[in-house]
């Protein structure tokens, strides 16, 4: 068997929107590190991830790349605006909302809003509970580049789900101020003892049904054989009388 193929990528982008600059290192489209430009340092995607090796591409070496990116952006923007006017490429964000851990009403959990198909990487993510904006307990990630030249971004909200709650993740594209809403409502989980009882009852009912079907087939087979033997005996007796 061929060994699996993996992808290690370092993606740099610059744009007129905020953030004006972005740089990330990904492995199989999972972000490992991102560059914090204002602080001029690499940050791990996860808190317990090892720090960026200081000898590998220090921040001072990134100045040339970021300057080149900005210069190329200005040149291409001026040229295309004058000689090749074209519609701007835009992606419609797609948001999925789910819990980080299995649902237990009344117990703390984390809602995750995963936003994909982002292009350009300039969206804001907000949360609401029952139509009221929520800002406490919110954590947003930076943009993660993916192979289709788009970006993915995550937002986390610390929650304590209760019956009747309605949460919404609102993704707003900054250039045209259009928004996409995705709702999440906690579904009351079936208690484990009730589920076990229901499964046990279903198994017993299925067993009884299969037993009845087997008995019916046995009776039908017996009758069929008895009828065939009786018919054969009558035919034999009739043949002897001739």
Domain shared by 143 and 165, yes or no = yes
In 3D space, the residue among 166, 160, 170, 157 whose CA is nearest the CA of residue 129 turns out to be 166
Collect all residues with Cβ–Cβ distance below 8 Å to 187 and sequence separation of at least 6: 103
Q: What secondary structure, in 3-state letters, does 138-157 show?
A: EEECCCEECCCCCEEEEEEE
Domain shared by 99 and 169, yes or no = yes
In 3D space, the residue among 91, 174, 95, 90 whose CA is nearest the CA of residue 127 turns out to be 95
CATH number for the domain including 64?
Answer: 3.10.320.10
| Domain that residue 12 falls in | 8-83
Q: Is residue 40 part of a domain?
A: yes
Q: How far apart are CA 168 and CA 170, in angstroms?
A: 6
Q: How far apart are CA 167 and CA 184, in angstroms?
A: 5
Q: Is residue 39 part of a domain?
A: yes
Q: Is residue 237 part of a domain?
A: no
> What pLDDT score does 162 carry?
93
Domain shared by 172 and 134, yes or no = yes
SS3 3: coil
Q: How far apart are CA 41 and CA 44, in angstroms?
A: 10
Q: Is residue 3 part of a domain?
A: no
In 3D space, the residue among 74, 40, 77, 46 whose CA is nearest the CA of residue 59 turns out to be 40
> What pLDDT score does 61 carry?
80
Q: Is residue 14 part of a domain?
A: yes
Domain shared by 115 and 49, yes or no = no
Q: Is residue 239 part of a domain?
A: no
Please list the pLDDT of the chain residue by residue as tens digits (242 residues): 788 889 899 999 999 898 899 999 999 989 999 988 888 888 898 878 888 877 777 777 888 888 899 999 999 989 888 888 877 778 899 999 999 999 999 999 999 999 999 999 999 999 999 999 999 999 999 999 998 889 999 999 999 999 999 999 999 998 888 999 999 999 865 554 554 565 566 667 777 777 776 776 676 666 655 555 455 444 444 555 44
Q: Are 116 and 147 in contact (CB under 8 A)?
A: no
Q: Tell me how many domains the chain contains.
A: 3
Q: Is residue 240 part of a domain?
A: no
Q: Is the peptide bond before 11 cis (omega within 30 degrees of 0)?
A: no
> What pLDDT score does 69 carry?
92
In 3D space, the residue among 170, 153, 159 whose CA is nearest the CA of residue 137 turns out to be 159
Assigned token pair, 114: 């995963």
Collect all residues with Cβ–Cβ distance below 8 Å to 22 and sequence separation of at least 6: 11, 12, 13, 14, 34, 35, 121, 142, 143
């Amino acid at each position: 068997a061929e060994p699996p193929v993996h992808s290690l990528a370092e993606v740099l982008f610059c744009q007129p929107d905020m953030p004006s600059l972005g740089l990330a290192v990904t492995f199989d489209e999972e972000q490992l590190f991102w560059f914090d430009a204002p602080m001029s340092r690499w940050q791990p995607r996860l808190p317990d991830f090892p720090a960026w090796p200081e000898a590998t591409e220090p921040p001072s070496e990134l100045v040339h790349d970021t300057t080149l990116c900005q210069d190329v952006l200005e040149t291409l923007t001026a040229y295309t605006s004058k000689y090749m006017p074209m519609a701007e490429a835009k992606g419609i964000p797609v948001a999925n909302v789910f819990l980080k851990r299995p649902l237990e009403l009344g117990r703390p959990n984390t809602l995750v809003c995963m936003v994909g198909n982002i292009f350009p990487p300039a969206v804001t993510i907000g949360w609401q509970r029952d139509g009221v904006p929520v800002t406490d307990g919110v954590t947003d990630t930076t943009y993660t580049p993916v192979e289709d030249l788009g970006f993915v971004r995550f937002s986390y909200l610390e929650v304590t789900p209760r019956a009747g709650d309605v949460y919404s993740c609102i993704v707003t594209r900054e250039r045209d101020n259009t928004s996409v809403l995705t709702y999440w409502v906690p579904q009351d989980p079936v208690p484990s003892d009730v589920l076990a009882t229901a499964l046990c009852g279903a198994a017993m009912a299925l067993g009884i049904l299969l037993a009845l079907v087997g008995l019916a087939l046995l009776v039908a087979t017996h009758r069929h054989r008895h009828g065939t033997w009786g018919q054969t005996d009558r035919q034999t007796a009739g043949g002897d009388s001739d």
